[in-house]
Structure 1
Amino acid sequence: MSTQNFTYTGHPARVIFGFGTTTQLPDEVERLCARRALILSTPAQTSQAEHLAGLLGATCVGIFSGAVMHTPVDVSEHAVSLAKEVGADVVVGVGGGSTTGLAKAIALRTDLAQIILPTTYAGSEMTPILGETSDGAKRTQTTLKVLPEVVIYDVDQTLGLPPGISGTSGINAMAHAVEALYARDSNPVISSLALQAIKALAVALPKIAKDSTDRDARFDALYGAWLCGICLGSVGMALHHKLCHTLGGSFDLPHAETHTVILPHALAYNAPAMPEVMVALEGVLGPDPALALQKLARSVNAPTSLKEIGMPADGVERAAFIAMSNSYWNPRALEISQIRDLIGRAYEGAPPLATDH
């Protein structure tokens, strides 16, 4: 372990993890001294929201099933209006990053407590970070006001997650851990969690692709995703997340799929500036970690090109310009021509390329 000084900041959250833990929701609502719960979901997960409403009985005062990707401000404001109308004193979100983002947006505006039941491997339930989209741009902020009070991880909630979504959601989670390894404020506590998380997901995701009902693999994947979320919420991010926010917010590309495509290329770009991190990643991913991540995506039938997920061919130049428009820390200096090449390779689905400084 490095002998350098470091700072570690832990974020308070109550975590309940295991099989069948959803049944503990009423007790957790009561523990927060809440009496009027508004349940949140995406349209596709309305049935899961209704199941939670059944568990809560009269404590549930409404369901808002309009959560969508990238947390548009107008949707959040609509949900806030409903929360005020029904007099909610807690929001309960069931779903992935879209639902969690909505819960956080409501908490930011109302200070309502949040209970999150993740059904994917997004990890945002472990972070004080909120990204909201308006006028074609995604903006992020960090504030403890949006950190959920309780997270109920129920492996059973993930058994119905389709293998394809499981793969992209899991690699999206891995991206949080990979970038945590080379964050400006990285520390040995988070680095240890990151490597454990990456290994757990790298092993579990191919098993889930072959058998989506593999309970042991589902347990390991959700556990890995939880650790990835801790990484995301504890240290800063760099090039990978900046590119994904740019692509997602400006071209309305699917969130997890964008992370899946970009991760190998962003890692390859930074590789020359962080040899120790690459050695650590070789220990959990094998030789050439960037290429290994792209191969992992293929093994779980996930997309490996921006072209596949709806990126317009003429968007490469614009994406590079937007990504360079605001300065941010990265272990390797950012050069417009090389960022353009990176996005171009990701657009085509070419192998990730590590170039010298």
Structure 2
Amino acid sequence: MKQVLVNPAMGYYINKDVFGTKGDFITSPEISQMFGELVGIWFVNEWMQIGSPSSIQVVELGPGRGTMADDMLRVFSKFPQMKESVTCHLVEVSPTLADIQQRKLTGSTGSGSISSDTISGPFGSNEPHYYKSCKSKYGPEVFWYRSLSDVPREKVSGFIAHEFFDALPIHKFQKTQHGWREVLVDFDLNKSSLSFVLSPTPTAATVAYLKMCETDERNHIEVSPEAGVVVQELADRIQSEGGFALIADYGHNGDKTDTFRGFKNHKLHDVLVEPGSADLTADVDFSYLTKMAGKNVKTFGPVTQNEFLHNMGIGVRLQMLLQNATLEARKDLISGYKMLTSPDQMGERFKFLAILQHRGQDYNPAGFTSLQ
């Protein structure tokens, strides 16, 4: 799965724009500005809750086309103190998408790529390297990295991961009469095609990863060890340096089974046919993420996207935007609102999870508490 998506030469995400109506799928920030705006407001509120530090890194994992980062920076520009405090850090492996993100954030047409071999980190020569930088049209500096581990530490950070974890590679396990077996990919010589097979005996992955999951009620389980590693790093940074994280993705709370699938041209696609031509994805197990975050941080959720956005005031924001909108814009706003919040569209399938420092008090973050 990892090779299909991010292989440096042929990976699905590497050399093309896969988002939007001309790509294979559309994400929430592309549907309506309200999504990124409300996430931005959530960040402003959490920044205030931790004492409005004079310097904060806003870190997005897998920024897509840069739309949400752009919406968030626009929100930050309305709060002068936060605008002066923020630097934006994007974790992106695709040079093609990084160029698209830069054009979005600067409003320019040039790529402005800078080699990671020739430039030091933004906060001193001993810091990790970034491979691209620019000044956004809203003021804050923006830096690009290939890995979360490259993003500077020892600074307060707010992390956002929207539709990031669903693209991380998974191991699949099937319960049989002989016990749990790993689902592997093989080449069928008779059909000259790839096929799924079961390991004849438990693999090392079976022994290592299944103990992290609840297995009693399911006969098929998907585990993403890489997702666990990323969440552990987020939790470690938040515990030691301060800050917060917001994870938004389609997923479940430890009850789903076989969710691995492909998308091409907005339609389901066989994951074993023409590898690299379609997006591969699996629902995020939020119970696993919560467990891997550990006890040294506080987690909230998951709550549905419908709950989170309404708790953040999307209804109020919609009414404000409708007041000065043209007829066509009103239709788009209402359509976007319904797509984001309706239970039969994105409202129930997408979930939000927050990771915060322990604050020594009974605190519930915005979005996870009803406005009623």
Q: Which has the larger radius of gyration?
A: 2
Question: TM-score normalized by structure 1?
Answer: 0.31
Question: TM-score normalized by structure 2?
Answer: 0.30
| Structure with the bigger percentage of strand | 2
| Structure with the bigger percentage of helix | 1
